[in-house]
Structure 1
């Protein structure tokens, strides 16, 4: 089970008020609500950039998801964190716009519980990502209709939060 360092997450209430911090693995073991973000990237052909999480991630390894997802640091603006992690995970930056937030909770087969208040950002990028292999196993641009069909056919290949994003937010334009 891979877990980089003793990274903390920011615990929040349902209104995104900070309650403190907790070590990331402990927060997932206890199912504590914490702040997160997800970035959706489209190219000029209206294809979405998705990536396959590294197989040794401590949860959802080997699953396809949105371009970038992670957790901000305490006192770090969520948008700044999203831009930082996009560079660290996918090897590029681009302008992004905030489009909403949602809360979800799910228990994984390994007993960990993901309970996040997820801030959602969207942007455009037409280049070739240079992903960090410790984070990303593969990536591709995919048309929305093809993506939705594949999620319907093989939902087990995608992260829980990404399926929610596709169902609730895809179709919005930057």
Structure 2
């Protein structure tokens, strides 16, 4: 479980209007639409920073994904949540820009359902992350051609939302 994350998620409708909050695990058990964010980070070589989620995460443990992904708190914007979680998960912050949003819904083998309205941000960082081991097993910078080829050859190694981000948003850089 995410020890440094929020316990509740913000429930929203398809227009991102707040409907209330719900305990995070319950929202994933019921498949309730909730607000989330994903941060894409590139370095000056236009390589994307990706991380491998900790294996004991309640879903998608051990899968590769974007630099940071989580849920904003009720009292913060998606951007504020993204900046907070970048520091908590990856040990750094950088300026980020909003580039879009999408809704997705997927079921996992453990019975949980991810149903998110995901706000996507992009930033640039050239340093060495200092990841939180409770959140992150590994990280690396990877070129887009290599990443797309690996996703095509081994899609089971990546989170559902990250594959959508790479397909729809990875043309962006800062």
TM-score normalised to structure 1 length: 0.97
Q: Secondary structure at the match of 2:89?
A: helix
> Which residue does the alignment assign to 2:36?
36
Question: 2:46, 2:173 within 8 Å by CA — same for their partners in 1?
Answer: no
> Which residue does the alignment assign to 1:116?
116
> Which residue does the alignment assign to 1:127?
127
Question: 2:2, 2:134 within 8 Å by CA — same for their partners in 1?
Answer: no
TM-score normalised to structure 2 length: 0.97
| 1:20-169 matched pairs, under 5 angstroms | 20-169=20-169
- Structure 2: segments with no counterpart, 5+ residues: none
Q: Secondary structure at the match of 1:130?
A: coil
Q: CA deviation at 1:3?
A: 5.0
Q: Distance in 2 between matches of 1:119 and 1:3?
A: 20
Q: Against the structure 1 CA distance between its residues 30 and 143, is the aligned structure 2 distance closer, same or farther, given a 3 Å change threshold?
A: same
- Number of residue pairs matched? 173
Q: CA deviation at 1:75?
A: 2.0
- Structure 1: segments with no counterpart, 5+ residues: none
Q: Distance in 1 between matches of 2:91 and 2:49?
A: 13
Q: Against the structure 1 CA distance between its residues 6 and 98, is the aligned structure 2 distance closer, same or farther, given a 3 Å change threshold?
A: closer
1:59-98 CA-partner distances (Å, limit 9, x unpaired): 0000000000000000211111100000000000000000
Question: 2:6, 2:71 within 8 Å by CA — same for their partners in 1?
Answer: no
Query: Once superposed, what is the RMSD of the aligned Cα atoms?
Result: 1.0
Segments of 4+ moved more than 4 angstroms: none
